[in-house]
Amino acid sequence: MNLCERLAGLRPHIYGGWRSEQLTSALKPLGVKVGAIGRRIDGKKHTRRGIYRSDLAEAIAERSQNRPGN
């Protein structure tokens, strides 16, 4: 399951029908990098397009800190 599908499952009224290109465009202004994420499964290297959770968590924390009233 990719990130767009997970987001649509969480909030279908907002993210339903989103494609990866839309998500990339939405994350770019937040400074979240979208790129190749590599890992090994059963000794074979697999590369997929994705984001690092730490980058996303950092962007969310920064956004929350910069909201009025904080």
| Residue recorded with tokens 């339903």 | 16
Dihedral pair phi/psi, residue 49, rounded to 5°: -85, 135
Q: What is the predicted pLDDT for the residue at 52?
A: 85
The total domain count for the chain is: 1
Q: How confident is the model at residue 13 (pLDDT cuts 50, 70, 90)?
A: very high
Task: Report the greatest alpha carbon distance in the chain.
Answer: 50
- E strand or H helix at 17: none
Q: Determine the structural domain holding residue 45 and report its residue range.
A: 3-65
24-60: pLDDT as tens digits: 999 988 888 888 888 888 999 988 888 888 888 998 8
pTM (2 decimals)?
0.67
d(CA 38, CA 52): 11
Would you say residue 70 has pLDDT above 70?
A: no
30: in domain: yes
